[in-house]
Amino acid sequence: MNPKEEKMKIITEEFLENEEDAPVEGLKSSKLPRQKRKKQPPTGGPGEMVSGKAQDDIQEEPVKQEPETQLLSMKAGRGPRNLPPIPASSRTSFAEFSMRERMREKLQAARSKAESALLQEIPTPRPRRLRSPSEKELETEFGVEPSKEALRTQQEDGSQSYSRVKHHEFIRKIKTKPLVPPGFPSAEDAYNFFTFNFDPDPEESEEKPKATAADKDTQEEEAGEEEEPPMQEGVNKTDEEELLSGKDAEEFLVGLDQTAADFVDVRPADYESVHVRMQREKEILFIPSRFTVPTYKKLPENVQPRFPEDEGLYIGERPEVSRTNQNIVENRLLTQEPERGWFGDDGRILALPNPIKPFPSRPPILKQEQAVHVELEMLYKKAVNYVTCSQHMIGAGEAPGIFQLDIDISGLIFTHHPCFSREHVLASKLAQLYDQYLARRQRNKAKFLNDKLQALRNAVQTGLHPEQPHRSLDTTQKAIHEYKAEIRQTRKLRDAEQEKDRTLLKTIIKVWKEMKSLREFQRFTNTPLKLVLRKEKVDQKADDDAYEAEIQVEVSELLEEHLEDYEQKMEEYRMAYQHWKAWRKAQRAKKKKKKQAVVEHPDEESEEPCPEAEPCPGEEPVKPVPPELTEQAVIEQQVRERAAQCRRRSGEPVLVPELSLAGSITPNDQCPSIVFLLVFVGVPFSFEADGSNQLILMTSGKVSNSVAWAVGEHGVPLSPPLSQQIIGFRSALKRADAISSIGTSGLTDMKKLAKWAAESKLDPNDPNNSPLMQLISVATSGEAYVPDFFRLEQLQQEFNFVSDEELNRSKRFRLLHLRNQEVPEFRNYKQIPVYDREIQEKVFQDYEKRLRDRNVIETKDHIDAHRAVVAKYLQQVRESVINRFQIAKHHFLLSDLIIEEEVPNISILGLSLFKLAEQKRPLRPRRKGRKKVTAQNLSDGDIKLLVNIIRAYDIPVRKPTASKFHQQSRSSRTFSEKCAASPAPHSPTHGVDYPLGQVLVRPFVEVSFQRTICHTTTAEGPNPSWNEELELPFRAPNGDYSMTSLQSVKDDVFIHVFDEILYDVLEDDRERQSGIHTRIERHWLGCVKIPFSTIYFQARIDGTFKIDMPPVLLGYSKERNTMIERGFDSARSLSEGSYITLFITIEPQLAPGETIREKFDSQEDEKLLQATEKFQAECALKFPNRRCLPTVIDISGKTVFITRYLKSLNPPQELLDVYPNSPQATAELVACYVSLIPFLPDAVSFAGVCDLWSTSDQFLDLLAGDEEEHAVLLCNYFLFLGKKVWLMMGNAIPEGPTVYVLTWEQNHYLIWNPSSGHFYAQYDTFCPLKSVGCLIGPDNIWFNIQRYDSPLRMNFDVTKPKLWKSFFSRNLPYPGLSSVQPEELIYQRTDKAAAAELQDRIEKILKEKIMEWRPRHLTRWNRYCTSTLRHFLPVLERSQGDDVEDSHRAELLKQLGDYRFSGFPLHMPYSEMKPLIEAVYSTGVHNIDVPNVEFALAVYIHPYPKNVLSVWIYVASLIRNR
Amino acid sequence: MAAAGPSVFLLMVNGQVESAQFPEYDDLYCKYCFVYGQDWAPTAGLEEGISQITSKSLDVRRALVWNFPINVTFKSTNPYGWPQIVLSVYGPDVFGNDVVRGYGVVHVPFSPGRHKRTIPMFVPESTSKLQKFTGWFMGRRPEYIDPKVVAQGEGREVTRVRSQGFVTLLFNVVTKDMRKLGYDTGPVDSQGIVGPSPAQNILW
């Protein structure tokens, strides 16, 4: 196509070039034709027009012989049609040319005929032709043209369409045009241009069909064209001419396009409408409908659906397929394969039963891998006493409490006993037999079998006389045959049963007779047994008939059997006989041959048919004997005999034995004096006179009893609670799986199995269950042998590649195993050696020791035994919690694995917008959160503890020594005082009292953590500001930085405040100029203790803490403080104690442990649990940071509603008696008592992970607990005291999330810290409680929905629903939950002697320790001072350390006048020795190394009820003043 | 080697993260890390690596080629916890945020020799359509907190993932002393050195 197009382009260009010329030519050439056309359209113009062209062509043509004809034809007016091929032929192959030539000639011939006449009328062609002088020119100009044309024709041969022809025509015209002199359009043209109506449309419409038609046959085309109306032709012509002359390039191009379309065959874009496509798709595609197919469509015609299930046939459960899919498949099947082979009788798709079990079944694996025979052995277990402390055991997950199982033993009946007499033996035998009889009668198997027999016989009868002839004879025959076999079987069984019945009856009677004779013989009766045989009359006639009929039936059956048997045997006989005969024949043939030789047995042949046996040698078959038919009489005889034996004779009355205890026992006095022979146990004896039939009887008997759970005082059954969840799970399983419901042992117990089968509604028709059903049916009738053991893995042994012992001996295996079990010692064991020999035995030592110690309570470390038990128990609780946590660690939530952005809500968006406006450098910068580090790739030294010590307030100042003391010890006055005073205008030596501005105290802070000690520089004054950051390295235990390990770090951070005192020890004042000789002493002022776990869970600790100070600090006071600083800090001074501002954090920040997510069992109502969840969720939504715990976990790991913990409980009476008139004092005392119960030191190991709440009695028994327990106990005591009290959940420093107690006193609220016993007013700035989440009362929970959660800014009026959201409201009224607390707390008086002993031991140990800590110095004990202190301690205990300082000091001074004394009493609850030692150590009293220092140490233990001990330790150092 | 048998075996892995097929994404980079059991310890080489960003090739394969080398040697006493290589592929989304495009894991081949592994990659799915949309919009798709979870079976049941793309890895594995310690991991090599007897003529 391309070349053609190109050429066309060229042509166009040429045309354009010649445009100007064209009209000139046109003017001349078309003037006439046009005029003529109007008159004679068919002839004039075209001929005229073309003539020029013809000339061209002729010129081009190599064959120039026929210009005349050409011309002629032109004149005929159809010239242009035949012209184009001519130039083509000029260069094309000769064949083609010739063909065209021929065609042209034909046409021309036809035309010339038609036109010859017209030719004369037109005179013009001649001059025109003559007038073409530039013919030569043209030839030169178009020299290239022919070749192009030739090319084109070559390609297009065969498809010479009209349009193309026309195109050529145009070209011709163009070619002719240059002939005309350029310049002006002719007048005619101009006229035409402006006036003529161009109308290319008809041309288009005309030509199109023509073009298509022309393709078919050129000849026809040509012919047809001639017949076309000339008028139209003329119009066309004109158009073409106008195109040319009018220079309308576009019009021309349209013409060109048309030609192009002819070549290309342009069509509109294919478009199929959706409808059409759908229509078409409908033909191809089949979309099965989703609607249910009516059943009749699926079944063959006129067949009703059958439901085999209704007919009792077993239909397995079909696999679950959705209804829609089923419908689709059915529809598809119906359409595609209408043979309907897919559908069953019930009109559903045939399907195999669902092969999927609803539950996986795996028998529980036996824990201990012991040999099987060991499992089967019976073991004697000693009865275990009920252990009272088992209520603390939480391992089994059982609820604490006492369960009581009542067993009521109603009677014991001996079947044999050493005291039995012969009569007793017989009586028991009789009783047993009677029981047996009753059991048999109840079951009445004989009757059942009899009925069955009757039924079978009937079946045979109907079978023999069939009423439904359609049944094939064959099947009937078969059925009858089976029936008969069944009859035989059943009859045998029945006979056996009947015989048993009868013999039993006989035995009973026999025994009874024996007994009667015995009674007669011994002349007394000592058993009340009495057998009455009741005769039931029977209708003699009917009985006879029945009996006889039965016999007859039996006989006939037997006969029949025999007949059958006989026939069978006959058949066999015949066969055998045939065989034998054949053999004989062969023999005979042989013999015949022999006979020719030896004729010895001539009679043999005659005898042949006779059954007389012939002694044949070798393997010769024995001649069969024909069977004999049994005589009917014989059979009848047999039947009758048997009937007589095992059946009641006809007419004989039915004997019904009745055993009763109505017999009278011979009274004792009537008994003969001789003591009758007793039947001894184990000694053979006999009832027979000859001593045969000996019996050996053992003591045996029956116990009848009933078992039930006891009912408690309040009507509560004392039964172990069943967890709902477990029940649900089990019951679901039960139905599906036998093993899971009754256990593997149940498989051997047929009764259990049968029971389970009945309960679970096993389909007895299910073929899967058939062996089971059979087993059960057999087992329940008690006939089959059931092995009394069951093996699960009988093949296991073969697969063990090494014996278990050997495997266990392997140290490596053991190590791997322990590590896999995540045993703490091995959890992080890396690179277990390849060889056993490389594993050292000591690896296991710690572990084994721990295992050994688990159950051994060591009293060595613990001074009193009770604490030891408690410590052990706590250890166990901790382990179990840790285990729980370990398990929970393997449960994952999505958030554990995947970080996903929350869908942002308005507040977050708002916040982020707000952030945009935030100042870049705010005036009050806040600490920003750091990136958390997951503790994975950490190692020692990576983690640091940062302690930022900012400032302290109200540090006690040194008290000016009393004047007497002062004057005496002038030289020993503190150096620091001098130094510090030196810049001051006053000389220190002048003033007795401290002058203003003198340094009162030089405190510094020492932080100790994990035996690393750092301290700040010393600051001055009672309100020092250090602002120093101390960095302490942190080492995780065993280098294990996993979360669990970090959680269990028990170290504390101690922040001690010391006063640094410089003593001038220069002996001689004269040396003062040349040397400084001072001694630094530091006096402990107080400390703050923060557990590491708190820091870990809190991530940071920021705040002001109260410094824990001893009640008495000798030499220091705070009075001066207030005096000096009065005016600018009076508010702070109001509060007692000193405070320190700290910021502690861990660098890098560690991801804190998550709370355990395990869902615990609960005995709470499901509704309540749901409500709590909802409440919690709602609260968390509003205030995610406020704590709210409607439910807590009790010590056995069950979820308990929190209000159940609150109940009025009595404090010890002793405490109430102390201040009978002052409720406030009593409250304080009670709080103090509660605070004396030690804080559970182990709690840190699972603080935050899982809070276990123990009840108050458990708490008091354990004598250890965390904030919750303290708070609950205190709350309960306050309830008893009649206060309005709430538990208050919130955050405090340094504890973090904690529980406090809130009380309402007459007109204000008090906040109690239960673990310290301190209380604070609501508006106390130094209250450690910083935020309040919720309040808990005994009957409701209120969540704080106020704007602020700081107690300072809160309103505690819980009745205001706008401030407090209550859990129980009108919608959910308080259901009256019973308390988990005991009714009453019982307090034992603590043994005073034991306390005293403990006191002495503690004192001794502490003294030893102090000496130990001073290895380089001699430690001297000042006994006098010690005794003074010892007297003083009880006073402190009584006053709780208040307001005793002055008197104490005075007394001390009086007694120890010439000593410089530094010391203080420490007060703490007693839990164990270690904290006491720690506390003493941390004060640093022992650090004084003055040569002449003396020490004093006194311990006092005040015993409170329930073994709560308050320990006072007074430790002091004394330096003698010279 | 001492007269006594070896106490550890060595596993040397070198190879490369060759290329990836992520038809929908471009400009990706990948990170790899090894996950191994407690008895394993890396002795040489890098356990973790992060590759360059690569764009798709312009040919029809549209491959993302990193050719990012892996070279690490482990020692171990126990084949339990055999090292796995965890790959995570990241790249920018339409808004230019860096999002995860796939996680994948494969064990280092057990037997010595050259191994080519093509591992399918997957990403966690959003929990809801809304989350998905906001995640897409904010450029914060769900990601594993620790990509190493893909090497564990534990806890995976709580996640849902969609698979997209493949990464091809090439491993050249050399082991030492495995056979001496009784672990047979592959066909006997041509030398057939079994037991502690050393090869006869090692000359260098």
DSSP conformation letters of A142-158: TSSHHHHHHHHHHHHTT
- Inter-chain CB proximity B144 and A896 less than 8 Å: no
- Whole-number average pLDDT of chain A: 69
**A832 CB within 8 Å of a chain B CB:** yes
| Rounded Cα gap, residues A1466 and A1499, in angstroms | 9
What residue in A sits closest to B79 (Cα-Cα)? A834
Question: pLDDT band at residue A888, thresholds of 50, 70 and 90?
Answer: low
Q: What is the model's pLDDT at position A1119?
A: 54
| Rounded Cα gap, residues B83 and B81, in angstroms | 6
Q: What is the model's pLDDT at position A755?
A: 67
Question: pLDDT band at residue A756, thresholds of 50, 70 and 90?
Answer: low
Convert A775-818 into a string of H (helix), E (strand) and C (coil).
HHHHHHHCCCCCCCCCCCCCCHHHHCCCCHHHHHHCHHHHHHHH
Section A1137-1160 average pLDDT: 72
Of B8, B77, B126, the CB nearest to A900: B126
Contacts of B134 in chain A (CB under 8 A): 901, 903-904
Report the length, in residues, of chain B: 204
Alpha carbon separation from A1274 to A1232, A1306, A1331 (Å, rounded): 10, 19, 20
**A1039 CB within 8 Å of a chain B CB:** no
What residue in A sits closest to B126 (Cα-Cα)? A900
Q: Which residues of B50-82 are buried (b: 16+ CB within 10 A; e: fewer)?
A: ebeebebeeeeeebbbbebebebbbbbbbbeeb
Instruction: Give the model confidence (pLDDT) of A67-97 as tens digits.
Output: 444 444 444 444 444 444 444 444 444 555 5
Higher per-residue pLDDT: B171 or A209? B171
Higher per-residue pLDDT: A680 or A1411? A1411
The lowest-confidence range among A784-788, A814-818, A1157-1161, A1356-1360 is A784-788
- Inter-chain CB proximity A900 and B145 less than 8 Å: no
Both structure tokens of A482 = 């089976």
A1508-1520 sheet: strands from edge to edge = A1420-1421, A1493-1504, A1508-1520, A1459-1469
Both structure tokens of A1409 = 């320790």
Q: What is the model's pLDDT at position A1460?
A: 74
- Inter-chain CB proximity B130 and A903 less than 8 Å: yes
Contacts of A900 in chain B (CB under 8 A): 124, 126-127, 131, 135, 140-143
Question: pLDDT band at residue A350, thresholds of 50, 70 and 90?
Answer: confident
Looking from the CA of A478 toward its CB, the CA atoms found within 13 Å total 5
Pairing, β A1308-1312 against β A1319-1321: antiparallel
A1517 forms beta bridges with A1462, A1495
Instruction: Give the model confidence (pLDDT) of A926-969 as tens digits.
Output: 666 666 665 455 666 778 888 999 988 888 887 765 433 333 33
| Interface contacts A/B by beta carbons within 8 Å | 84
- Inter-chain CB proximity A831 and B159 less than 8 Å: no
A1217 in Cβ contact with A1342 (< 8 Å) = no
Of A830, A899, A934, the CB nearest to B143: A899
Q: What share of chain A is helix, strand, coil (3-state, %, to 5)?
A: 50, 15, 40
Higher per-residue pLDDT: B13 or A729? B13
Of B40, B142, B156, the CB nearest to A900: B142
CB burial of residue A1018 (10 Å; 0-12, 13-18, 19+): buried
B19 in Cβ contact with B167 (< 8 Å) = yes
The lowest-confidence range among A82-96, A491-505, A1323-1337, A1385-1399 is A82-96
- Inter-chain CB proximity B159 and A893 less than 8 Å: no
Identify the three-state secondary structure at position A1359.
coil
Contacts of A182 (CB under 8 A, 6+ apart): A20, A21, A24
Question: pLDDT band at residue B15, thresholds of 50, 70 and 90?
Answer: very high
**A893 CB within 8 Å of a chain B CB:** yes
Question: pLDDT band at residue B87, thresholds of 50, 70 and 90?
Answer: very high
Of B8, B40, B158, the CB nearest to A897: B158
Interface test with A, best of B158, B161, B162, B183 (most A CBs within 10 A): B158
Q: Does position B89 have pLDDT exceeding 50, yes or no?
A: yes
Instruction: Give the model confidence (pLDDT) of A1098-1118 as tens digits.
Output: 777 888 888 888 877 777 776
| Rounded Cα gap, residues A696 and A680, in angstroms | 9
pTM of the predicted model as reported, rounded to 2 decimal places = 0.48
Q: What is the model's pLDDT at position A96?
A: 53
Question: pLDDT band at residue B35, thresholds of 50, 70 and 90?
Answer: very high
Contacts of A1345 (CB under 8 A, 6+ apart): A1182, A1183, A1362, A1363, A1364, A1365
Question: pLDDT band at residue B133, thresholds of 50, 70 and 90?
Answer: confident
Interface test with A, best of B145, B152, B178, B180 (most A CBs within 10 A): B145
Dmax over CA atoms of chain B, in Å, equals 69
Handedness of CA B170, B176, B178, B179 (dihedral sign): positive
Q: What is the model's pLDDT at position B59?
A: 87
Question: pLDDT band at residue A769, thresholds of 50, 70 and 90?
Answer: low
Question: pLDDT band at residue A579, thresholds of 50, 70 and 90?
Answer: confident
DSSP string, A1050-1083: --EEEEEEEEEEEEE--S-GGGGGT---EEEEEE
| Rounded Cα gap, residues A1522 and B7, in angstroms | 72
Of B77, B138, B158, the CB nearest to A893: B158
**A896 CB within 8 Å of a chain B CB:** yes
Section A174-197 average pLDDT: 56
Percent residues over pLDDT 70 in chain A: 57
Contacts of B196 (CB under 8 A, 6+ apart): B5, B180
Interface test with B, best of A812, A827, A901 (most B CBs within 10 A): A901
Distance from CA of B193 to the nearest CA of A (A): 21
Pairing, β A1493-1504 against β A1420-1421: parallel
Contacts of A891 in chain B (CB under 8 A): 155
Looking from the CA of A208 toward its CB, the CA atoms found within 13 Å total 11
Q: What is the model's pLDDT at position A1388?
A: 79
Q: Does position A1363 have pLDDT exceeding 90, yes or no?
A: no
Instruction: Give the model confidence (pLDDT) of A249-260 as tens digits.
Output: 554 555 555 555
Section A1354-1377 average pLDDT: 83
Q: Does position A1213 have pLDDT exceeding 60, yes or no?
A: yes
| Rounded Cα gap, residues A1299 and A1283, in angstroms | 18
At residue A702, what is the residue type?
Answer: K
Backbone angles phi, psi at A1204, to 5 degrees: -65, -15
A244 in Cβ contact with A174 (< 8 Å) = yes
Section A1460-1477 average pLDDT: 80
Distance from CA of B44 to the nearest CA of A (A): 17
The lowest-confidence range among A65-74, A327-336, A555-564, A1115-1124 is A65-74
Contacts of B146 in chain A (CB under 8 A): 934
A1093 in Cβ contact with A1049 (< 8 Å) = yes
Instruction: Give the model confidence (pLDDT) of A639-657 as tens digits.
Output: 777 777 766 666 667 777 7
- Inter-chain CB proximity A898 and B154 less than 8 Å: no
